[in-house]
Each structure stands twice: as structure tokens, then as C-alpha cells.
Amino acid sequence: MRFEMIDDHSQLLDVFDDEAAALAGVRALLAEEPDAAAEVALMAFDETDDDRLVGRALYGDALTEAARTGSLAAMDLASRSHA
């Protein structure tokens, strides 16, 4: 699974190879810029299934909560969105 962090202009900010790296990236960003959660989103993609979006994107308060708890459970990575 690949995680991508994008800004509110759909510009790619960073790519992470796994959940731990994605959480570390989110924490680092929010430590440096606490208000950044309102301007960025974290999304997961299944590289084995034509790069389809997996689960839900996290942004705003949900992204801040993920950084605080160290969990991406709110992304619901077990479900797949084929929209």
C-alpha cells in the first residue's frame, strides 16, 4: 500500500511506503505547522489493484486525531473505494 499526502491544491507533498512512515510524516508536518491539517489530506492506494483509492482520505480534525493517536483506523483501510 502507498500513502500520499497532498495539499489543498492537489499538489503531491510526500509519498510513504507504509502506515508507520505515513504517520511519522503526518506527525512531523503537524509538529512543524500545527494548522496544516486544514490544508492537507492523506490518502492510501492499493498498488496491486491498479492504484485504486483504499478507504477514506484523512484531513482536518481526522488527520490531527490520527497523528495524536498513532492510528489510521479512521481511513477504514479494510474497505475499498472504487469511485
Q: How far apart are CA 66 and CA 6, in angstroms?
A: 16
Give the helix, strand, coil percentages of the chain, each rounded to 5.
35, 35, 30
CA distance 51 to 18: 15
pLDDT, tens only, 16-30: 999 999 999 999 999
Supply the pLDDT for residue 83.
46
Tell me, what's the pLDDT at 80?
A: 56
Residue 66's pLDDT is 94
Q: What's the pLDDT score for residue 82?
A: 46
Q: What is the mean pLDDT of each run of 10 residues along the chain (83 residues)?
A: 95 96 96 94 88 91 94 84 48
| pLDDT in the model for residue 48 | 81
Please report, for the chain, the start and end positions of each structural domain, with discontinuous segments joined by +. Answer: 2-75
